[in-house]
Amino acid sequence: MPYVTVGQENSATIDLYYEDLGAGQPIVLIHGFPLNGHSWEKQVLVLLNAGYRVITYDRRGFGASSQPSFGYDYDTFAADLNVLMTNLDLQNAVLVGFSMGTGEVTRYLGTYGSERVQKAVLMAPVPPFLLKTDDNPEGVDQSVFDGIMKAIVEDRPAYFSAFFREFFNMDVLLGDRISGEAIQASWNVAVGASAKGTLDCVPSWLTDFRDDLPRIDVPTLIIHGDADRILPLESTAARLPKLIKNSNLVIIPGGPHAINWTHADQVNPALLNFLQQE
């Protein structure tokens, strides 16, 4: 199993598990909370068949990566991504983030630039800024995030059960676009994640990306479902075309948060079309 070392805590290294498959232009897939790189299953197969080199990795604290007690902020997440990009010497890459992974894409490009990157994809994005403030009235009240953290501390497994009901819009899509078994598999991954990391990720969602967005200087595809209950379209993706030059927004009708799974039949053609554009 391949790992890249991104840090140290006491006697142990902090290692990220990654998979590097296929050949061709590298596509780096960055997963969402609280999952791992295997959550890209429906995209990996399609991308490999289309002739791309596909790299997935597990964020620190999640999946098969190390579970340190610190580093659950976007400066560190972007630094971790930079170590991976540098270690694999990726060139002409496409960064594809889903949900929390869109923060890595945005902060990476805002901090490290696009020397190694040709294009970017933000799927069900966190940016520009989730927290409601005087200068960000489109955001979400702090009390919502306080409630999430309280629920995680009180009963993390129960929190994940409630989270996935809204993540997949189970009341509408269960048995149609998502199976009970797929939801159980996601829950199993989630409960295996770091308890500390799970909690610490919540404040990271409130990162202000508004200074990073103008620095994105590569063509950018934004994909979002109009029935997203986790990151509402109006607070997130709908605002991005004005903030990212050379960007295009694709809205998936009826799409929940987890559009890369439930609506892969619509997401994948949009992704491939974007990748194949000159």
Active site residues per annotation: 99, 228, 257
Query: Can you say whether residue 37 is alpha, beta or left, with left for phi > 0 and alpha for psi between -120 and 50 degrees?
Result: alpha
In this structure, what DSSP letter does residue 104 have? Answer: H
Residue type, 130: L
State the greatest distance between any 2 C-alpha atoms of the chain, in Å, as a whole number: 50
Q: Give the span between the Cα atoms of 57 and 81, in whole angstroms.
A: 9
CB 120 within 8 A of CB 95: yes
Q: Give the span between the Cα atoms of 171 and 185, in whole angstroms.
A: 18
| Dihedral pair phi/psi, residue 122, rounded to 5° | -115, 110
∠ Cα 90 91 97 (to 5°): 70
